[in-house]
Amino acid sequence: MDKFIFESYAGLEGRQLLEPILRDFSGRAAVVSSFGAESAVLLHMVSEVDKATPVIFLDTGKHFWETLSYRAMLIDRLGLTGVRTIAPDEADLAAGDPDGTLHARNADQCCHIRKTLPLQKALEGFDVTISGRKRYHGAARATLDFLSIADGRLKVEPLAGFSALDISAYMKAHDLPAHPLTEIGYFSIGCEPCTSAGGNAADPRAGRWAGTAKTECGIHWTHNGQDLTLPSRARH
């Protein structure tokens, strides 16, 4: 993929970035969404551009019921028609996590089976992946580029520069419903066994894999653990 063809997107973010990406890569771009604490913002932007955009949701089998309920509500509220619910391979689960407790012994391997492998299959045929990661979430996300290349695909992060205040203001302006768990202290929401209440605007992911060094599930990174960023003149 020629990195320099993306110069035309330089300086764009939010919907201003999302709209031309979905137009220029029609049918070849997929959104990856957890339907978590801040997911409504990107999904609302998607719905205003093209409600049929493919949206991939990884149903790990370990989600909070509140997340599954919220997913159904947002799909209906926003009129999204391209949501694809992807589950782990039954053979992989039988071989690697037959009793469903792998998360307690090896969280990285659990994420690999329940998230990374299913997503790799789900993204076959797509040239572009879009997610709602933001720099203010810190750790490995603090230096996010709006555009990068990973595993041969263009990765687009329309909300990379959004702050917690930007997210809150957007949701209020568009009357978007909050994830029910945010009302009881969850700032970032993943699988139930590995997510606890906690976090704040400065460190929203503090409740994810609390007490461990783990900060990411692995689906957003290349095989060597890093994105390949675009040349500086195409970056933001």
DSSP 8-state class, residue 162? -
Mean pLDDT of the chain: 86
Q: Where are the domains of the chain?
A: 3-216
The reported pTM is 0.87
Please provide residue 158's backbone torsions phi and psi, each rounded to the nearest 5 degrees. -60, -25
Taking residues 25-48, what's their average pLDDT?
96
Question: For residue 156, what are the CA distances in angstroms to 7, 44, 130, 132?
Answer: 13, 16, 5, 9
Burial bucket for residue 236 (CB in 10 Å: 0-12, 13-18, 19+): middle
Question: How far apart, in whole angstroms, are the C-alpha atoms of residue 186 and residue 204?
Answer: 8
Spacing of C-alpha 168 from chain mean position: 18
Q: Specify the range with the lowest mean pLDDT, choosing from 61-70, 132-141, 171-180, 215-224.
A: 215-224
Looking at the domain covering 3-216, what would its CATH class be? Answer: alpha beta
User: Tokens at residue 90, please?
Assistant: 């039954």
Smallest Cα–Cα separation from 157: which of 123, 131, 135?
131
- For 50-85, b/e burial (b = at least 16 CB within 10 A) is beebbbbbbbbebbbebbeebbeebbebbebeebee
What tens digit of pLDDT does each residue of 43-99 get?
Answer: 999 999 999 999 999 999 999 999 999 999 999 999 999 999 999 999 999 999 999
Residue 231's pLDDT is 44
Given a contact cutoff of 8 angstroms between Cβ atoms, the answer to whether 175 and 24 are in contact is no
* Residues taking part in catalysis: 217
Query: Which comes out higher in pLDDT, residue 73 or 190?
Result: 73
